[in-house]
Amino acid sequence: MSDHAGIRHVEIGVADLARSLDFYRDLLDLTPAEGPAPGAGVAWLAAGPVLLKLVETGDGDLGGWVNDDLQRGIRHIGFKVGDVDLRAERVRDAGVPFTLPPLDAVGGVRIAFFQDPDGTHLEITDNYLRYHHVASPELAERERLAALSRPRTAPPVFDHVAVTSAGLDAALAFYRDTLGYPVIGQIAQDQDPRGFLITYLLAGDAVLEVFTFTSPTTASPWTPDPCRHGFRYVAVAVDDPEEAAGRLVAAGARVAADGLLVDPDGVPLALA
Protein backbone atom coordinates (compact mmCIF):
# COMPACT_ATOMS: atom_id res chain seq x y z
CA MET A 1 0.00 0.00 0.00
CA SER A 2 1.26 3.46 -0.88
CA ASP A 3 2.22 5.75 2.00
CA HIS A 4 -0.49 8.11 0.78
CA ALA A 5 -3.25 5.49 0.43
CA GLY A 6 -6.13 4.96 2.79
CA ILE A 7 -9.10 6.81 4.21
CA ARG A 8 -8.76 10.56 3.68
CA HIS A 9 -12.15 11.90 4.77
CA VAL A 10 -15.78 10.99 5.38
CA GLU A 11 -18.59 13.16 4.04
CA ILE A 12 -21.64 13.54 6.29
CA GLY A 13 -24.88 15.23 5.32
CA VAL A 14 -26.44 17.50 7.96
CA ALA A 15 -29.69 19.45 8.15
CA ASP A 16 -28.25 22.49 9.94
CA LEU A 17 -24.53 23.20 9.59
CA ALA A 18 -24.34 25.56 12.59
CA ARG A 19 -25.99 22.96 14.82
CA SER A 20 -23.63 20.24 13.61
CA LEU A 21 -20.60 22.47 14.16
CA ASP A 22 -21.78 22.98 17.74
CA PHE A 23 -21.80 19.19 18.06
CA TYR A 24 -18.61 18.12 16.28
CA ARG A 25 -16.43 21.15 16.98
CA ASP A 26 -17.61 22.34 20.38
CA LEU A 27 -18.77 19.09 22.02
CA LEU A 28 -16.41 16.56 20.42
CA ASP A 29 -13.46 18.99 20.14
CA LEU A 30 -12.74 18.40 16.46
CA THR A 31 -10.62 21.14 14.89
CA PRO A 32 -11.66 23.38 11.96
CA ALA A 33 -9.58 22.54 8.91
CA GLU A 34 -9.10 23.46 5.28
CA GLY A 35 -10.35 20.78 2.94
CA PRO A 36 -9.85 20.24 -0.78
CA ALA A 37 -13.32 21.54 -1.71
CA PRO A 38 -14.38 24.61 0.32
CA GLY A 39 -17.72 26.23 -0.36
CA ALA A 40 -20.98 27.53 1.04
CA GLY A 41 -22.71 25.06 3.31
CA VAL A 42 -19.54 23.02 3.79
CA ALA A 43 -17.32 22.72 6.85
CA TRP A 44 -14.15 20.67 7.23
CA LEU A 45 -13.04 19.33 10.60
CA ALA A 46 -9.88 17.47 11.55
CA ALA A 47 -9.82 14.54 13.92
CA GLY A 48 -6.16 13.68 13.69
CA PRO A 49 -5.04 12.86 10.13
CA VAL A 50 -8.54 12.03 8.82
CA LEU A 51 -11.05 14.79 8.02
CA LEU A 52 -14.81 15.06 8.32
CA LYS A 53 -16.62 17.00 5.62
CA LEU A 54 -19.98 18.31 6.84
CA VAL A 55 -22.36 19.27 4.02
CA GLU A 56 -25.58 21.12 4.74
CA THR A 57 -28.32 19.34 2.78
CA GLY A 58 -31.42 20.91 4.33
CA ASP A 59 -34.55 18.78 4.35
CA GLY A 60 -33.70 15.11 4.08
CA ASP A 61 -33.28 11.97 6.11
CA LEU A 62 -30.99 8.98 6.54
CA GLY A 63 -32.29 7.44 3.32
CA GLY A 64 -33.35 4.13 4.85
CA TRP A 65 -30.29 3.64 7.07
CA VAL A 66 -31.30 1.93 10.31
CA ASN A 67 -29.31 1.13 13.43
CA ASP A 68 -28.95 -2.58 12.69
CA ASP A 69 -25.52 -4.01 11.93
CA LEU A 70 -27.10 -6.66 9.71
CA GLN A 71 -27.80 -3.90 7.19
CA ARG A 72 -24.90 -3.83 4.74
CA GLY A 73 -22.93 -0.68 4.04
CA ILE A 74 -21.49 1.94 6.39
CA ARG A 75 -22.47 1.30 10.01
CA HIS A 76 -20.59 3.92 12.03
CA ILE A 77 -17.37 5.86 12.39
CA GLY A 78 -15.24 5.58 15.51
CA PHE A 79 -12.90 7.86 17.43
CA LYS A 80 -10.13 6.96 19.85
CA VAL A 81 -10.22 8.95 23.09
CA GLY A 82 -8.06 8.96 26.18
CA ASP A 83 -10.89 7.85 28.48
CA VAL A 84 -14.35 6.80 27.27
CA ASP A 85 -16.06 7.56 30.57
CA LEU A 86 -14.53 11.02 30.79
CA ARG A 87 -15.65 11.87 27.27
CA ALA A 88 -19.05 10.26 27.86
CA GLU A 89 -19.66 12.63 30.78
CA ARG A 90 -19.50 15.58 28.40
CA VAL A 91 -21.78 13.87 25.89
CA ARG A 92 -24.29 13.00 28.63
CA ASP A 93 -24.16 16.49 30.13
CA ALA A 94 -24.98 17.94 26.71
CA GLY A 95 -28.20 15.90 26.68
CA VAL A 96 -27.10 13.51 23.93
CA PRO A 97 -28.58 10.03 24.52
CA PHE A 98 -26.43 6.93 24.18
CA THR A 99 -27.46 4.15 21.84
CA LEU A 100 -24.98 2.06 23.84
CA PRO A 101 -23.74 3.48 27.17
CA PRO A 102 -20.08 2.99 28.12
CA LEU A 103 -19.16 -0.66 28.61
CA ASP A 104 -16.23 -3.04 28.46
CA ALA A 105 -16.32 -4.77 25.09
CA VAL A 106 -14.88 -8.00 23.72
CA GLY A 107 -11.23 -7.45 22.90
CA GLY A 108 -10.33 -5.45 26.00
CA VAL A 109 -11.54 -2.01 24.92
CA ARG A 110 -14.14 0.27 26.45
CA ILE A 111 -16.71 1.70 24.04
CA ALA A 112 -19.82 3.85 23.83
CA PHE A 113 -22.17 4.78 20.98
CA PHE A 114 -24.33 7.82 20.32
CA GLN A 115 -25.66 9.77 17.33
CA ASP A 116 -25.10 13.23 15.94
CA PRO A 117 -28.08 15.63 15.62
CA ASP A 118 -29.13 14.01 12.32
CA GLY A 119 -28.74 10.37 13.37
CA THR A 120 -25.21 9.59 12.15
CA HIS A 121 -23.91 6.78 14.36
CA LEU A 122 -20.66 7.47 16.24
CA GLU A 123 -18.45 5.40 18.54
CA ILE A 124 -15.83 6.41 21.07
CA THR A 125 -13.31 3.84 22.26
CA ASP A 126 -10.21 3.72 24.42
CA ASN A 127 -7.39 1.27 25.19
CA TYR A 128 -6.23 -1.17 22.47
CA LEU A 129 -7.63 -4.38 21.01
CA ARG A 130 -6.46 -7.81 22.15
CA TYR A 131 -7.14 -9.58 18.88
CA HIS A 132 -8.31 -13.18 18.94
CA HIS A 133 -6.37 -13.71 15.74
CA VAL A 134 -3.42 -11.48 14.91
CA ALA A 135 -2.55 -11.23 11.23
CA SER A 136 0.13 -8.54 11.66
CA PRO A 137 1.97 -8.49 15.00
CA GLU A 138 3.76 -5.31 13.95
CA LEU A 139 0.53 -3.39 13.33
CA ALA A 140 -1.09 -4.73 16.50
CA GLU A 141 1.94 -3.66 18.54
CA ARG A 142 1.86 -0.21 16.98
CA GLU A 143 -1.75 0.16 18.08
CA ARG A 144 -0.89 -0.97 21.60
CA LEU A 145 1.95 1.51 21.97
CA ALA A 146 -0.21 4.36 20.68
CA ALA A 147 -2.89 3.57 23.26
CA LEU A 148 -0.37 3.45 26.10
CA SER A 149 0.98 6.89 25.18
CA ARG A 150 -2.46 8.54 24.84
CA PRO A 151 -3.23 10.92 27.75
CA ARG A 152 -6.50 10.38 29.63
CA THR A 153 -7.72 13.82 28.56
CA ALA A 154 -6.79 13.37 24.90
CA PRO A 155 -9.46 14.64 22.47
CA PRO A 156 -11.06 12.34 19.91
CA VAL A 157 -8.89 11.14 17.03
CA PHE A 158 -10.46 9.47 14.02
CA ASP A 159 -9.97 5.73 14.30
CA HIS A 160 -12.20 3.72 11.97
CA VAL A 161 -15.03 3.28 9.53
CA ALA A 162 -17.17 0.22 10.24
CA VAL A 163 -18.96 -1.53 7.38
CA THR A 164 -21.10 -4.65 7.12
CA SER A 165 -20.31 -7.08 4.32
CA ALA A 166 -22.24 -10.04 2.97
CA GLY A 167 -19.07 -12.13 2.95
CA LEU A 168 -15.53 -11.80 4.25
CA ASP A 169 -13.80 -13.35 1.24
CA ALA A 170 -15.36 -10.81 -1.13
CA ALA A 171 -14.57 -7.90 1.20
CA LEU A 172 -10.94 -8.98 1.50
CA ALA A 173 -10.67 -9.37 -2.26
CA PHE A 174 -11.89 -5.79 -2.63
CA TYR A 175 -10.09 -3.96 0.18
CA ARG A 176 -7.02 -6.10 0.91
CA ASP A 177 -6.22 -7.47 -2.52
CA THR A 178 -7.35 -4.55 -4.70
CA LEU A 179 -6.80 -1.48 -2.49
CA GLY A 180 -3.89 -3.02 -0.58
CA TYR A 181 -5.19 -2.62 2.98
CA PRO A 182 -3.40 -5.18 5.18
CA VAL A 183 -5.31 -7.16 7.80
CA ILE A 184 -4.35 -6.34 11.40
CA GLY A 185 -6.40 -9.00 13.15
CA GLN A 186 -9.84 -10.31 14.03
CA ILE A 187 -12.24 -10.32 16.97
CA ALA A 188 -14.94 -13.02 17.18
CA GLN A 189 -18.06 -12.02 19.08
CA ASP A 190 -18.59 -15.53 20.42
CA GLN A 191 -21.65 -14.68 22.54
CA ASP A 192 -23.49 -13.09 19.62
CA PRO A 193 -26.04 -15.55 18.16
CA ARG A 194 -25.73 -13.85 14.77
CA GLY A 195 -22.23 -15.27 14.27
CA PHE A 196 -20.50 -11.89 14.43
CA LEU A 197 -16.87 -11.51 13.30
CA ILE A 198 -14.95 -8.22 12.96
CA THR A 199 -11.91 -8.09 10.68
CA TYR A 200 -9.67 -5.03 11.04
CA LEU A 201 -7.72 -3.67 8.05
CA LEU A 202 -5.28 -0.78 8.09
CA ALA A 203 -6.50 1.90 5.67
CA GLY A 204 -3.72 4.48 5.74
CA ASP A 205 -4.02 6.47 8.97
CA ALA A 206 -7.32 4.83 9.87
CA VAL A 207 -8.84 1.38 10.20
CA LEU A 208 -11.56 -0.30 8.20
CA GLU A 209 -13.67 -2.58 10.39
CA VAL A 210 -15.43 -5.23 8.31
CA PHE A 211 -18.43 -6.81 10.06
CA THR A 212 -19.53 -10.23 8.82
CA PHE A 213 -22.22 -12.54 10.17
CA THR A 214 -23.43 -16.07 9.71
CA SER A 215 -26.97 -14.65 9.93
CA PRO A 216 -28.42 -13.19 6.72
CA THR A 217 -27.71 -9.52 6.06
CA THR A 218 -29.94 -6.97 4.35
CA ALA A 219 -29.11 -4.70 1.43
CA SER A 220 -27.57 -1.27 1.86
CA PRO A 221 -30.13 1.50 1.25
CA TRP A 222 -27.51 4.01 0.05
CA THR A 223 -28.36 6.20 -2.93
CA PRO A 224 -26.61 9.39 -4.14
CA ASP A 225 -29.53 11.55 -2.97
CA PRO A 226 -28.28 15.18 -2.72
CA CYS A 227 -30.50 15.72 0.35
CA ARG A 228 -29.26 12.65 2.16
CA HIS A 229 -28.30 13.02 5.81
CA GLY A 230 -25.71 10.83 7.51
CA PHE A 231 -22.94 8.99 5.69
CA ARG A 232 -22.62 10.15 2.11
CA TYR A 233 -19.30 8.58 1.12
CA VAL A 234 -15.80 7.63 2.26
CA ALA A 235 -12.95 9.32 0.39
CA VAL A 236 -9.89 7.11 -0.13
CA ALA A 237 -6.54 8.27 -1.42
CA VAL A 238 -4.98 6.35 -4.30
CA ASP A 239 -1.94 7.05 -6.44
CA ASP A 240 -3.86 7.01 -9.74
CA PRO A 241 -7.65 7.46 -9.40
CA GLU A 242 -8.44 6.42 -12.97
CA GLU A 243 -6.33 3.27 -12.77
CA ALA A 244 -7.68 2.42 -9.30
CA ALA A 245 -11.27 2.92 -10.48
CA GLY A 246 -10.71 0.38 -13.23
CA ARG A 247 -9.34 -2.17 -10.79
CA LEU A 248 -12.19 -1.60 -8.33
CA VAL A 249 -14.86 -1.94 -11.01
CA ALA A 250 -13.22 -5.19 -12.07
CA ALA A 251 -13.38 -6.26 -8.40
CA GLY A 252 -17.13 -5.66 -8.23
CA ALA A 253 -17.66 -1.92 -7.71
CA ARG A 254 -20.31 -0.05 -9.65
CA VAL A 255 -20.16 3.54 -10.81
CA ALA A 256 -22.70 5.90 -9.22
CA ALA A 257 -23.54 9.57 -9.68
CA ASP A 258 -20.91 12.30 -9.28
CA GLY A 259 -18.09 9.86 -10.00
CA LEU A 260 -18.59 7.82 -6.85
CA LEU A 261 -17.93 4.10 -6.79
CA VAL A 262 -20.05 1.76 -4.69
CA ASP A 263 -18.50 -1.44 -3.38
CA PRO A 264 -20.40 -4.77 -3.62
CA ASP A 265 -21.96 -4.15 -0.18
CA GLY A 266 -23.22 -0.64 -0.90
CA VAL A 267 -20.37 1.39 0.61
CA PRO A 268 -19.90 4.61 -1.42
CA LEU A 269 -16.31 5.57 -2.17
CA ALA A 270 -14.68 8.64 -3.69
CA LEU A 271 -11.19 8.23 -5.11
CA ALA A 272 -8.72 11.07 -4.63
pLDDT tens-digit series, residues 41-51? 999 999 999 99
Asked whether residue 54 falls in the same domain as residue 138, the answer is no
1 part of a folded domain: no
CA gap 182, 136 in Å, rounded: 8
Q: Convert the pLDDT of each residue in 117-154 to its tens digit.
A: 999 999 999 999 999 999 999 999 999 999 999 999 99
Please check whether residues 32 and 140 belong to one and the same domain.
no
Are residues 103 and 234 located together in one domain of the fold?
no
Question: How many other C-beta atoms are found inside a 10 Å radius of the C-beta of residue 37?
Answer: 11
Instruction: Give the domain range for residue 252.
Output: 6-61+228-267
Please tell me whether residues 81 and 202 are part of one structural domain: yes
- Mean pLDDT, rounded, of the chain: 95
pLDDT at 2: 43
Can you spell out the DSSP letters for the chain? --TT-EEEEEEEEES-HHHHHIIIIIIS--EEE--SS--TTEEEEEETTEEEEEEE--S---TT--S-TTB-EEEEEEEE-S-HHHHHHHHHHTTPPEEEEEEEPTTS-EEEEEE-TT--EEEEEES----SEES-HHHHHHHHHHHHTS-TTPPPEEEEEEEE-S-HHHHHIIIIIIT---EEEEEEETT-TT-EEEEEEEETTEEEEEEEESS--B-------TT--EEEEEEEE-S-HHHHHHHHHHTT-EE-GGG-EE-TTS-EEEE-
Summarised one tens digit per residue, pLDDT across range 189-227 is 999 999 999 999 999 999 999 999 999 999 999 999 999
| CATH number (domain holding residue 245) | 3.10.180.10
Those residues whose C-beta lies under 8 Å from the C-beta of residue 117, and which sit 6 or more positions away, are 14, 15, 16, 19, 20, 23
Q: Is the pLDDT of residue 21 over 90?
A: yes
- CB atoms near residue 152 (< 10 Å): 11
Q: Do 195 and 248 fall within a single domain? A: no
Q: Assess contact for 59 and 227: CB atoms under 8 A.
A: yes
Average pLDDT over residues 87-91: 97
Contacts of 144-147 with CB under 8 Å at 24 or more apart are: 147/80
Q: Could you tell me if 161 and 36 lie in one domain?
A: no
Is the predicted pLDDT of residue 70 greater than 80, yes or no? yes
Please, are residues 266 and 72 in contact by the beta-carbon 8 Å criterion? yes
Among 145, 143, 127, smallest CA distance to 135 is for 143
* 165 is a domain residue: yes
| Residue 223 counted as domain residue | no
- Of the chain, the percentage scoring pLDDT greater than 90 comes to 93
**Phi, psi for residue 174 in degrees, rounded to 5:** -80, -55
CA–CA distance from 83 to each of 92, 114, 172 (Å)? 14, 16, 32
The structural domain count of the chain equals 2
> Which residues are registered as beta bridge partners of 262?
254, 268
| 145-178 per-position pLDDT tens digit | 999 999 999 999 999 999 999 999 999 999 999 9
Please tell me whether residues 192 and 82 are part of one structural domain.
yes
Q: Does 46 reside within a domain?
A: yes
Q: Are residues 196 and 162 in the same domain?
A: yes
Rounded mean pLDDT of 72-98? 97
> Residue 1 pLDDT more than 50?
no
Residue 4 binned pLDDT confidence (cut-offs 50, 70, 90): low
Question: Do both 77 and 56 map to the same domain?
Answer: no
User: Measured between alpha carbons, how far is 226 from 22 in angstroms, rounded to an integer?
Assistant: 23
Let me know if residue 272 belongs to a domain.
Answer: no
Regarding whether 113 and 53 lie in a shared domain, the answer is no
pTM of the model: 0.96
- Which of 186, 213, 240 represents a domain boundary (last residue)? 213
In a domain, 67, yes or no: no
The reply to whether 98 and 140 lie within a common domain is: yes
Contact present, 228 and 268 (Cβ < 8 Å): no
Q: How far apart are CA 208 and CA 201, in angstroms?
A: 5
Residue 77, in any domain of the structure: yes
Which of 213, 241, 257 is the C-terminal boundary of a domain?
213
Asked if 236 and 152 sit in the same domain, the reply is no
- Domain membership of residue 219 (yes or no) is no
